[in-house]
Structure formats: C-alpha cells, structure tokens
Amino acid sequence: MAQDQQHMTNNFPGQIHETPGGGIVLSKLDDVINWARSNSLWPLTFATSCCGIEMMAVASAKYDFSRFGFEVARASPRQADVIIIAGTIVNKMAPVLKRLYDQMADPKYVIAMGACAISGGPFFYNTYSVVKGADHVIPVDVYVAGCPPRPEALLHALISLQQKIKMGMTREQIKEGV
Amino acid sequence: MVEELGTTTEGDLIINVGPQHPATHGVLHLVITLNGETIKKVEPHLGYIHRSIEKMCESLTYRQFIYVTSRMDYLSAHINNHACALCVEKGMQIEVPERAQVIRVLMDELTRIASHELWWGAMAMDLGAFTPFFHAFRERETINDIMEETCGARLTMNYMVPGGVMADLHPDFQKRVKAFISLYRSKIKEYDEMLTGNIIFQNRMKGVGYLSPEDAISYGCSGPAARGSGVSCDIRKLYPYEVYNKVQFEEVLETAGDSFARYMVRIREMNQSVSIIEQLIDNIPEGDYQAKTKAVLKLPKGEFYTRVETARGELGVYIVSEGATTPYRIKFRSPGFSNLSALDHMARGSKLGDLVAMMGTLDLVIPDIDR
C-alpha cells in the first residue's frame, strides 16, 4: 500500500543520492517510462454525442486538461494513446469503434465517458439500436459516471488513468488485485 | 470541365470523410466523388448515432419522454424540451402561467446564444483558427453556470415540463444574467474584430456554398441556413409562441446566400437574443412557475403538431395520441436533417477544401439528424 501511495504523487520516481559535485539518480527504468508516459497522453477526438461537448469544455480554458498533459488531441488513431468514448455507441458505430481501437499503437487506454458508454444509460430500455456499454466492443480502463459527466469528473478520470499507468500493472493484474 | 456533376465516371476519386473526422462534428459519414479537386457529388450516410429516440418515446409517458429529447439536439436542449412541452400542452389545453412563459423564453434565448457560441468556436477551428474556440467557450461557460444554478445541469437540462418549468428561478438569476449581457455585446464586437473582419477568413467564406432562395425552400432548409439566402422563416416571428409577440426583435436576413451570409446571420442573431433578454429580464412577472396539472397526463385522441425555432432552425413535434398515457407515435421534424440535404447541392462544382466551410456554416448536430 505504501508503494501505491507513492504512485499517487506526480514526483519523479527515484531517489537522489547527493555526492560531492552533483548527485546520482537511482530509479527503475520501467518506473521512469511509466512516469513519462502517464504525463503525455494524447487523446483521440472521438465524440459521438452530448458528452463530446463536455469533452470540449474540458479542453477549453476554464478546465484545461493540458495541465495534465492531455492537450494534444489527435484526429488520427495512429497518433493517439487514449480514446475517450464520449457518447452513445450504436450498432452501426460499434465496428468503427473497434477498428479505431485496433489502429491505435500500443500502449493504448480507453475511458468510457458518460452513462451511454458505460451501459447504454438513458437508452438502455426500449431501444433497438444502442450497444449496452462500450466494453462489449473494446476493453475499458476507466469509467466516468454522469449524463453527461461534469468536466471535473472527466478530469478525475484522466488523473485516475495516470495513476493506473504509474502503477505499471496490466489490466488483468489490476483486476485480480495483485 | 465538361463532365456532368452528380455522376461517377472512370478515373473519379471517391473519398470517405468520417464517421471519425473532426470536421463532421460527430459521426457523419460523407462519400465524396472528386474529379481532381472538384466535388462532383456528396453523399451523406446517416445512422452512426441513431438511438431510436422516436421509438423510445412510444413507451414513455408524456412527462417522461421529454428528458430523452434533451439528448437530440443537445446544444439547444431547452428548446427541444420546450417544443415537446408545448405539444403536450396543446393536446391537454393547459394554460401556462405568464411567469413560466417568460422564464421559458429567457432560457431559450440564453441557449441560443450558447449554441451559437459553440458553433462559432468549432467552425473557426475547422477552418484552422484555434483561438476563437477559447474565446467562445469562455462566454459559454458563463451561460452554463447560470443554467446550472437554476436547472441543476450544464448541458441536458430537462427544465421545461408540461405546464411550465420544473423549478423556480434561482434568486441570483437576474443579477447574473444582467452581469452577463452587459459584457456580452462588447464580446460580440471582439469576435468581429478577431474573425469576421479577417481577410483570410472572408476569402474562405465569401462566394462559397451558394444556396439560392428557391433551393433553400425546396430542400426544406430552415433557421440561419435559409435566412442566409433571404428566406423569411423565423418561427418566432411567423407563428409566435409564448411571449415572443410581446418583445421587439428583428428577423435577421441576409441575401448573399453564401457561407459568409449564414455566418453573419448567426452573429447578428446573437445580438437579437441579447436584446430579447434585455427586454424581459427586468419584467419577469410574479406568480406560479407551473400550472396545476394532473399527475398522469392523458392526451385526447387525435394528432397534435407544434413547432419552435431552435438555434438550427424549425423543430416540429408531431404526436399521434390514442388517448393513452403514452403517445402512439411521435415524429420529430429536425432542422439539421433538412439542412444537411442541401449540402450536396451546395457543394457540387466547388473545391474539396471549401466543403468544411459549408458544413461549418450549416451547423450540423448529428444526433439531431439521426435521432
């Protein structure tokens, strides 16, 4: 648990040993890579509906996700690291989402933003065309509740994803609670 | 160029724009036939965000179905709810208190400003100017905060209910709206200085995407897309609802019919919305914010149609009732669908790079088109 606490902070993962005339940094290469990776996540501009507007609000000056290294929103999946599923996924869109995910280079992460992407949300009952949760199509790392979520909630999700990356574990390891 | 537009011949290049493309503002899929760089045909493919809202409404009661309509045209959520509430009230013959009517109009106009703000920022971003996006969102956030105080939500409000509005105004509402509009006119001037007068921007907009008044009518265009061609179609003027016949405002018309005309209509409409708010904000009558209605609404057997002016054009709600607690059939006449149908006609013969300017000034919201 103490190690988990260390991942909550954004400090450089390592120890500085003072020596005469300078210092030596001791760290694990994996930790350094994860630390660097978590602070420059480029999101894909993937918005299908209402949540996309809140995603734009997070990109704008008041909430500003560039404070956490997310500002380089890419339109091409080949340049993106994280896909924020902002909006409902319907049956016709599901193959497109899968294809976008497959086109992204590893390591890649997924945030399901809003009730629709989590479970179908308000469109769970009585519809014939909505996918009941984006995790039926691609694996999801972080879920954000809300319809649409507040910008602060999305920021919290982005920070949660950073912590997850800093822990350096795979999805399966986290699920098993290793 | 001797080849006929609208046909595909050997050697033509066919490209797909979307469904994942930032300029489509969502998940629109365009199949474009090109001869060199000249557009011969644009074929929109829909359904990537078809959520079967009309079918859902058939299994929801008249109080419940309004929340789904906020998700249709989420940039004018208030106005969508307003249209549905009006249609149910027409069927039930509910008299809405005057206070509720004024609140509704105020909220509608604030929504219209917020929607045009987002359009302005996003359209400029599509054309390669990034700064307007941040300026537009600064003002939009102020409106969102005002909405949030009263309605509890930033985007999907569900504030209008049959018989009035869901809750009374927040005590700070008048103060905050006044503070906003006193600043806002200067902001519109700032927008003009930043973008409207820019010569590069004007060159990309003027003469691009011409739509004649006859075509605008025959394609069923409405809202700023038709008013940019000089077609008078503002529902607030032609078929006034609520207190629109008691306030002074002009219907904004431009005659050029190109992208720049549609752009100017929206910019001038923001000014008109501010003037409507100015007239009403000090004159909110006292009284109930909601009429007394039965807990369970049952519309009499028959067909009911109402229409309102959203930020994109005419939204019609058509309810067929069999006398039950749920509608038998609901049809929405969404403004985006008709406006999109004119895109092919506008784009033929122009260059590929201009397509973004045309789509930007049509101001499409895809969930509104697919529903």
Instruction: Give the CATH number for residue B133.
Output: 1.10.645.10
Judged by CB atoms closer than 8 Å, whether chains meet at B49 and A128 is answered as no
- Give the span between the Cα atoms of A85 and B136, in whole angstroms: 24
| A77 in any annotated domain | yes
* Residue A158 domain flag: yes
> Which range among A14-18, A88-92, B120-124, B228-232 shows the weakest confidence by mean pLDDT?
A14-18
Out of B51, B56, B140, name the one closest to residue A88 (CB).
Answer: B51
What is the Cα–Cα distance from A90 to A133, expressed in whole angstroms?
Answer: 10
Candidates B16, B17, B25, B27: best to mutate against A (most CBs of A within 10 A) is B27
Give the mean model confidence (pLDDT) for residues B206-223.
90
Which helix (H) or strand (E) element contains residue B114? helix B98-126
- Contact status of B133 with chain A (Cβ, < 8 Å): yes
B271 touches chain A (CB under 8 A): no
Chain A interface includes B45 (CB < 8 A): no
CB A43 within 8 A of CB A58: no
| B319 within a domain of the structure (yes/no) | yes
Between the alpha carbon of residue A13 and those of residues A19, A23, A28, A159, the distances in Å are 19, 15, 8, 17
Q: Looking at chain B, which residue has its C-alpha nearest residue A101? A: B20
Q: Is A62 on the interface with B (CB under 8 A)?
A: yes
Q: Which domain holds residue A55?
A: 2-168
Angle in degrees, 0-180, between the axes of helices A29-38 and A151-167, rounded to the nearest 10: 170
- As a whole number of angstroms, the distance between CA A150 and CA A63 comes to 10
Let me know: does A4 contact A60? Beta carbons within 8 Å.
Answer: no
- Radius of gyration over every alpha carbon of chain A, rounded to an integer in angstroms: 18
Interval A81-102 mean pLDDT = 91
User: A62: which chain B residues are within 8 Å (Cβ-Cβ)?
Assistant: 137-138, 141
Question: Looking at chain A, which residue has its C-alpha nearest residue B59?
Answer: A126
**Percent of chain B topping pLDDT 90:** 30
Q: What is the mean pLDDT of chain B?
A: 88
Contacts of A75 in chain B (CB under 8 A): 20-22
Predicted pLDDT of residue B316: 92
Is there a domain that residue B356 lies in? yes
Number of domains in chain A: 1
Answer whether B128 touches A (CB < 8 Å).
Answer: no
Residue of A nearest to B52 (CA): A127
Whole-number percent of chain A with pLDDT over 70: 92
| Structure tokens, B163 | 């018989």
> Mean pLDDT for chain A?
84
Q: How many other CB atoms are there within 10 angstroms of residue A20's CB atom?
A: 5
**Is A139 an interface residue toward B (CB < 8 Å)?**
no
Identify the pLDDT of residue A178: 53
Residue B145 with chain A: CB contacts under 8 Å: none
Share of chain B above pLDDT 70, in %: 99
A128 → chain B, closest CA residue:
B52
pLDDT, position A2: 46
Find which of B16, B17, B20, B111 to mutate to test the A interface (most A CBs within 10 Å of its CB): B20
Cβ distance of B55 and A130 shorter than 8 Å: no
pLDDT digits (tens, 9 = 90+) for B241-255: 888 988 888 889 988
Contact with chain B for residue A88, Cβ under 8 A: yes
Tell me if B27 is assigned to some domain: no
Q: Is B46 on the interface with A (CB under 8 A)?
A: no
Q: By the CB < 8 Å criterion, does A75 face chain B?
A: yes
Number of structural domains in chain B: 1
Residue A50 lies in a domain: yes
Task: List the single range of B2-6, B168-172, B182-186 with lowest mean pLDDT.
Answer: B2-6
Q: Does residue B33 lie within any of the structural domains? A: no
Report the distance separating Cα A72 and Cα A91, nearest Å: 29
Is B55 within 8 Å of chain A by CB?
A: yes
Predicted confidence (pLDDT) at residue A1 exceeds the cutoff of 60 = no
Cα separation of B73 and B172, whole Å? 28
**pLDDT tens for residues A110-163?**
999 999 899 988 888 888 899 998 889 999 988 999 888 999 999 999 888 888
CB contact under 8 A, B50 and A92: yes
Q: Does A153 touch chain B (CB under 8 A)?
A: no
Contact of B66 with chain A, judged by CB distance below 8 Å, is answered with: no
Instruction: Give the per-residue pLDDT at A122.
Output: 86
pLDDT of res. B303:
92
pLDDT of residue B304: 92
pLDDT bin (cut points 50, 70, 90) of residue A8 is low
What's the pLDDT at A34? 85
In this prediction, residue A75 has a pLDDT band, given cuts at 50, 70 and 90, of confident
Tell me the nearest-neighbour CA distance from A52 into chain B, angstroms: 8
pLDDT single digits (tens) B3-50: 567 677 777 888 888 788 877 777 889 999 988 888 888 999 988 989
Residue B3 pLDDT:
58
Whether residue B17 is contained in a domain is answered as: no
pLDDT at B317: 92
Nearest CB neighbour to B50, from listed A46, A62, A90: A90
A-to-B residue pairs, Cβ atoms closer than 8 angstroms = 101
CA closest to A131 among chain B residues: B51
Which of A93-102, A120-129, B269-278 is least confident? A120-129
Query: Given this model, what pLDDT does residue A48 score?
Result: 87
B22 within a domain of the structure (yes/no): no
Whether A177 is covered by a domain: the verdict is no
Q: What is the model's pLDDT at position A177?
A: 64
pLDDT bin (cut points 50, 70, 90) of residue B323 is confident
B277 touches chain A (CB under 8 A): no
The answer to whether residue A173 sits within a structural domain is no
Contacts of B44 in chain A (CB under 8 A): none
Query: Once rounded to an integer, what is the mean pLDDT over residues B302-329?
Result: 91
Within a domain: A97: yes
Q: Is the pLDDT of residue B2 over 70?
A: no
For B51, which of A46, A90, A150 is closest by C-beta distance? Answer: A90
Distance CA B251, CA B238 (A): 10
Residue ranges making up the domain that contains B321: 49-370
CATH number at residue A18: 3.40.50.12280
Which one, of B124, B147, B143, B121, lies nearest residue B134 by Cα?
B121
- Residue B199: other Cβ atoms inside 10 A: 7
Supply the pTM of this predicted model: 0.88
Which residues of chain A does B47 touch, with a Cβ-Cβ cutoff of 8 Å?
90, 92
Q: How far is CA B166 from each of CA A104, A107, B113, B159, rounded to the nearest angstrom?
A: 45, 47, 22, 5
Q: Picking from A90-94, A148-152, B18-22, B220-224, which range would have the lowest pLDDT averaged per residue? A: B18-22
Among the partner-chain residues A50, A75, A90, the one whose CB lies closest to the CB of B156 is A50
Mean pLDDT across the stretch B254-277? 91
Q: Could you report the per-residue pLDDT of A115-126, keeping only the tens digit for each?
A: 989 998 888 888
